């Protein structure tokens, strides 16, 4: 390996990363326009600088492509993670237009060489002009794929890890690999050095991607940190930084979740039940709706305080969620009532589910107090699509489950009622 070339490439990568991060950091004073202009300059230099350096015997890289292209991806990822989505779109549109404009200008200017009276400097040739235009054209074609791809990969990896370095490194590595293959294939096609240039480009750009991912992580941790609340608690960690799409999903989750129990809320249930019934009708599968009422809840609240009542509701919610399958939907319907949508469950299966829950609640779920314990029981009413003739719509299912719930309460509570059968304690 040529140590001088390696050190100079490292210095270039550090300079590019510092420049991008410094311009982004100064956005509160200068705005993002200076960053966009510099990134546009990177696009021009990528196409016009055909400098090739040998870093090892038989291995050559193009510094402009290796360092500047990856720095462009760093800027795109940084703007996407930290700014509004519309800002990311501005950068994408600007980059595409800059590359397209460069291609058009190079092609137009190259036509002068075909007209008498034109003189070319020693550094400029018709082939060079058209070569730059072709490089810029290929870059323009690939740029939307690169930009959309890096965002998609970043979001995909975000579903599996909270590490900002892993997310950004995976996104950068994936895109430089795809872009390097396609770009080198189109630009260097027909050259005997194609395999070497492709392999060397992949290694060089991958090294730059890892370096830029590390710089991005350090920047967000120590220089421009923004805390993000994750989950239901107040756990704050800059490395769990959420993108705006993730923040939207988190806000949407808060809107569909009950703050006390963490279960889905009434609004979510009102949307989920019609979808579930429509799917059950389409495939002719049974579907059961369970309406669960916590027995004597008002007395618990009045006698032991609302804090104890909250603890009771949390225990009921935990046990329902514990017994439910991934395909089932458990919601807090309101007050001390809960509702469960059991997909592909006939009446007997739903009754078995409810009875397991009821017995566990009666036998084990108790709230400890300084003066003793509060026993908790529940009454459950069940209605089943396809099996209950008068329950063919979401409204009818809920109405029938409610009627059977109150039938169980009138019969003494702490029981499951389904069809014309009542499961007694």
* Structural tokens at position 153: 């990969």
Do 155 and 278 fall within a single domain?
no
Higher pLDDT, 129 or 360: 360
216 and 362: one domain? no
Over residues 148-157, the mean pLDDT reads 85
Q: What's the pLDDT at 230? A: 35
Domain assignment present for residue 252? The answer is no
pTM here? 0.53
Task: Give the percent of the chain with pLDDT over 90.
Answer: 34
Structure confidence by residue, pLDDT tens digits, 249-260: 566 666 888 989
pLDDT for residue 78: 87
How far, in Å, are 14, 62, 272 from residue 266 at the CA level? 53, 59, 10
We report the CATH number of the domain holding residue 367 as 3.30.70.270
Domain's final residue, options 224, 241, 272: 224
Residues 107, 235: Cα–Cα separation, whole Å: 55
Residues 193 and 325 in one domain: no
Residue 106: its pLDDT value, please?
Answer: 63
> Are both 274 and 209 inside the same structural domain?
no
> What is the rounded distance in angstroms from the CA atom of residue 406 to the CA atom of residue 413?
9
Q: Which residue range is the domain that position 393 belongs to?
A: 257-423
Is residue 238 included in any domain, yes or no? no
Whole-number mean pLDDT of the chain? 80
* pLDDT above 90 (res 96): no
State residue 139's pLDDT score: 65
Strands 372-375 and 366-369: antiparallel
With a cut of 90, say whether residue 59 has pLDDT above it: no
| Residue 117 in domain | no
Instruction: Tell me how far the alpha carbon of residue 20 is from its chain's centroid.
Output: 25
Average pLDDT of the residues in 368-377? 64
**pLDDT score for 80:** 82
**pLDDT at residue 228 in the model:** 40
pLDDT of res. 235: 33
Which residue has better confidence, 372 or 57? 57
Confidence of residue 8 (pLDDT cuts 50, 70, 90): confident
Residue 224 has pLDDT above 90, yes or no: no
Does residue 48 sit in the same domain as residue 188? Answer: yes
| Same domain, yes or no: 215 and 308 | no
Cβ–Cβ < 8 Å for 73, 172: yes
Q: Has residue 347 been placed in a domain?
A: yes
Per the CB < 8 A criterion, the answer to whether 293 and 340 are in contact is: no
Give the pLDDT of residue 115. 57
In a domain, 158, yes or no: yes
Distances (CA, A) of 390 to 348, 351, 397, 400: 17, 18, 8, 8
Domain count, the chain: 2
Given a contact cutoff of 8 angstroms between Cβ atoms, the answer to whether 332 and 258 are in contact is yes
Q: 153 and 12, same structural domain?
A: yes
Question: Does 135 share its domain with 17?
Answer: yes
Answer with the one of 224, 239, 265 that is the final residue of a domain. 224
Q: Are 200 and 206 in contact (CB under 8 A)?
A: no
Residues 217 and 68 in one domain: yes
Residue 261 shares a structural domain with residue 218: no
Averaged pLDDT for residues 34-61: 74
The pLDDT value given to residue 387: 92
**270 and 130 share a domain?**
no
Tell me if 379 is assigned to some domain. Answer: yes
172 in the same domain as 131? yes
pLDDT of res. 229: 37
pLDDT, one tens digit per residue, over 386-414 is 999 888 899 999 999 999 999 999 999 99
Is residue 231, in this structure, part of any structural domain at all? no
């Amino acid at each position: 390996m040529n140590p001088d070339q390696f050190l100079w490439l490292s210095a270039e990568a550090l300079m590019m990363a510092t420049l991008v991060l410094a311009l982004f950091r100064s956005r509160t004073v200068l705005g993002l326009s200076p960053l966009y202009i510099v990134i546009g300059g990177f696009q021009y230099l990528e196409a016009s600088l055909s400098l090739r350096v040998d870093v090892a015997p038989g291995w050559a890289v193009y510094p402009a492509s290796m360092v500047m292209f990856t720095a462009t991806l760093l800027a795109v990822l940084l703007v996407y993670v930290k700014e509004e989505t519309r800002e990311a779109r501005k950068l994408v549109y600007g980059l595409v237009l800059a590359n397209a404009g460069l291609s058009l200008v190079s092609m137009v200017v190259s036509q002068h060489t075909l007209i008498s009276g034109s003189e070319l400097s020693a550094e400029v040739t018709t082939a060079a002009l058209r070569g730059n235009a072709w490089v810029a054209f290929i870059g323009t074609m690939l740029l939307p794929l690169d930009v959309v791809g890096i965002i998609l990969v970043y979001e995909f990896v975000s579903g599996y890890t909270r590490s900002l370095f892993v997310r950004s490194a995976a996104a950068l590595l994936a895109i430089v690999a795809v872009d390097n293959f396609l770009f080198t294939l189109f630009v260097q096609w027909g050259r005997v050095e194609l395999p070497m240039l492709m392999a060397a480009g992949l290694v060089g750009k991958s090294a730059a991607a890892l370096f830029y991912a590390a710089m991005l992580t350090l920047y967000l941790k120590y220089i421009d940190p923004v805390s993000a609340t994750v989950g239901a608690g107040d756990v704050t960690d800059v490395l769990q930084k959420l993108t705006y799409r993730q923040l939207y999903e988190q806000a949407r989750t808060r809107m569909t979740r009950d703050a006390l129990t963490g279960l889905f809320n009434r609004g979510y249930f009102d949307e989920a039940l019609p979808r579930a019934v429509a799917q059950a009708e389409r495939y002719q599968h049974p579907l059961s709706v369970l309406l669960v009422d916590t027995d004597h809840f008002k007395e618990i609240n009045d006698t032991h305080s609302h804090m104890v009542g909250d603890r009771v509701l949390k225990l009921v919610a935990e046990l329902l969620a514990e017994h439910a399958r991934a395909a089932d939907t458990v919601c807090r319907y309101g007050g001390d009532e809960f509702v469960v949508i059991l997909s592909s469950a006939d009446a007997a299966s739903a009754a078995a589910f409810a009875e397991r829950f009821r017995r566990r609640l009666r036998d084990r779920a108790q709230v400890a107090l300084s003066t003793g314990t509060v026993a908790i029981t529940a009454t459950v009413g069940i209605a089943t699509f396809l099996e209950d003739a008068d329950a063919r719509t979401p409204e009818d299912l809920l109405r029938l489950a409610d009627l059977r719930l109150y039938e169980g309460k009138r019969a003494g509570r702490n029981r499951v009622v389904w069809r014309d059968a009542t499961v007694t304690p």
